[in-house]
């Protein structure tokens, strides 16, 4: 009599996670590629000129699939010697063709690395770029406003709007009524069981802020300088509107005179003539006195210029920055100087020792991200995120 044959099977549940693991691994490679190219991505002209709904293509190295590898000892190997070489022998000279796909004048025959372009929405890039950015030294202000963020549920009543139905209290009222009658559990909910929440506007502390965006539009600002300025302000505005609900942005363009302009004019305006940086700070200070008192607003100023300024205007400009620092939470100045030209104004600003003053120098497109990250470092006496 033969013994019965028992077949034991154990399902490997890890196989069910292969698709998920591959998807997660792919997502990690995409995020890694984005982080590696962040400084180049935010300086992409197609993004700045888009409507904010751009889909970005990021080059990503492909991942090899699992495959069988045959015994390599049975085949000829690339790079194996013949045994007749000695120390000091010349293996090749500079300029000789390279047959294995390396650097040389000849065409290589070895396979290269495969890359493909992954499509990433602009919002995903913003999440990575803005993750560590904050308005520095943001403080709660005296003014108290009523807003949708300051709603308070003050009472529960048997009459109200359907959208304000309090389901929990309705069920409790229903169970209580059934319990008084000796019935347990749920039954048919009657109109008498319904309970509605009543809400009122509640005063909420408001950390309001105003940001003065100052752009040099004088004749010394070339195409590269203007492009850098517009790119920096493009990302700054997207960051402010994404992260903060109570922020006003004032756009100021200046040459020898400063003008308060609209957002569209700010990004499309072209000017010429000389440069007087102090005019922008005088206008910002006038707006602070007339419309944005420091007791009610957190004040910020960010200025982008090529550093060229009338020599007679350097001292008034420095005086305007110092006066603004007395009431501002942060003042930033970005110099766009691809040719590393000396500037008397910049040399004076570099000696300015104030904890709320931040200065950045931009020589190429890749420096824009560093300048923005320096402007929005979260250090300082920040009280509200």
Q: Are 346 and 311 in contact (CB under 8 A)?
A: no
Could you write out the DSSP letters of every residue in 152-176? Answer: EEEEEESS--GGGB-HHHHHHHHHH
Instruction: Tell me the per-residue pLDDT of 18-68, one tens digit each, with 9 for 90 and over.
Output: 666 666 776 677 677 777 777 887 787 766 666 555 665 655 555 554 555
Q: How far is CA 363 from CA 93, 272, 336, 374, in A?
A: 38, 22, 6, 15
Instruction: Tell me the per-residue pLDDT of 263-294, one tens digit each, with 9 for 90 and over.
Output: 999 988 777 778 899 999 999 999 999 999 99
Q: Are 179 and 210 in contact (CB under 8 A)?
A: no
Report whether pLDDT(355) > 80: yes
Instruction: Tell me the per-residue pLDDT of 317-337, one tens digit each, with 9 for 90 and over.
Output: 999 999 999 999 999 999 999
Could you write out the DSSP letters of every residue in 196-245? Answer: EEEEEEEEEE---EEEEEEEE-STT--HHHHHHHHHHHHHHHHHHHHH-S
Instruction: Tell me the per-residue pLDDT of 65-87, one tens digit each, with 9 for 90 and over.
Output: 455 555 655 555 555 566 677 76
Report whether pLDDT(385) > 50: no
């Amino acid at each position: 009599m033969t013994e019965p044959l028992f077949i034991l099977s154990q399902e490997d549940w890890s196989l069910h996670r292969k698709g998920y693991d591959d998807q997660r691994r792919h997502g990690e490679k995409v995020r890694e590629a984005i982080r590696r190219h962040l400084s180049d991505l935010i300086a992409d002209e197609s993004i700045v000129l888009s409507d904010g709904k751009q889909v970005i293509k990021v080059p990503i190295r492909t991942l090899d699939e699992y495959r069988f590898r045959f015994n390599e000892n049975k085949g000829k190997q690339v790079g194996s010697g013949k045994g007749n070489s000695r120390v000091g022998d010349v293996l090749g000279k500079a300029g000789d063709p390279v047959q294995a796909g390396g650097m040389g004048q000849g065409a290589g025959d070895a396979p290269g690395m495969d890359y493909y372009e992954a499509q990433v929405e602009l919002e995903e890039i913003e999440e990575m770029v803005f993750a560590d950015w904050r308005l520095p030294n943001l403080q709660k202000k005296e003014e108290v406003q009523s807003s949708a963020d300051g709603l308070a549920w003050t009472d529960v009543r048997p009459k109200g709007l359907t959208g304000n139905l309090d389901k929990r209290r309705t069920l409790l009222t229903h169970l209580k009524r059934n319990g008084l009658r000796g019935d347990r559990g749920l039954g048919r909910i009657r109109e008498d069981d319904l309970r509605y929440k009543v809400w009122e506007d509640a005063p909420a502390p408001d950390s309001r802020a105003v940001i003065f965006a100052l752009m040099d539009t004088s004749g010394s600002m070339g195409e590269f300088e203007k492009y850098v300025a517009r790119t920096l302000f493009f990302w700054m505005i997207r960051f402010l509107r994404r992260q903060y609900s109570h922020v006003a942005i004032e756009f100021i363009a200046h040459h020898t005179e400063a003008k308060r302009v609209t957002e569209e004019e700010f990004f499309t305006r072209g000017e010429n003539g000389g440069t007087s940086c102090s005019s922008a700070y005088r206008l910002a200070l006038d707006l602070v006195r007339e419309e944005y008192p420091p007791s009610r607003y957190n004040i910020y100023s960010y200025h982008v210029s090529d550093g060229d300024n009338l020599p007679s205007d350097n001292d008034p400009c420095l005086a305007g920055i110092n006066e603004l620092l007395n009431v501002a939470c942060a003042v930033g100045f970005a110099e766009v100087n691809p040719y590393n030209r000396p500037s008397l104004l910049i040399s004076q600003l570099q000696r300015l020792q104030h904890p709320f003053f931040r200065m950045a120098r931009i020589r190429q497109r890749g420096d824009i991200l560093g300048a923005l990250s320096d402007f929005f470092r979260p250090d300082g006496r920040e009280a509200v995120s």
